[in-house]
Amino acid sequence: MRGVDHHASPYHLKNIDQILITVYLV
């Protein structure tokens, strides 16, 4: 479970970052 969390954490963070940037631009 920890391995999956570690792999999903950075992926999710990057996704949120991209969404936040898109919203901020708009």
Sequential pLDDT tens for the chain (26 residues): 455 555 555 666 678 888 888 888 87
**Number of folded domains that form the chain:** 1
Dist. CA 14–CA 26, nearest whole Å: 18
CA distances from 14 to 7, 20 (A): 12, 10
pTM given for the model: 0.38
- What is the reported pLDDT for 1? 47
- What is the reported pLDDT for 24? 82
Taking the CA atoms of 11, 17, 20 and 21 in sequence, report the sign of the dihedral they define: negative
Which domain range does residue 22 map to? 1-26
- What is the reported pLDDT for 7? 57
Token readout for 18 is 């991209």
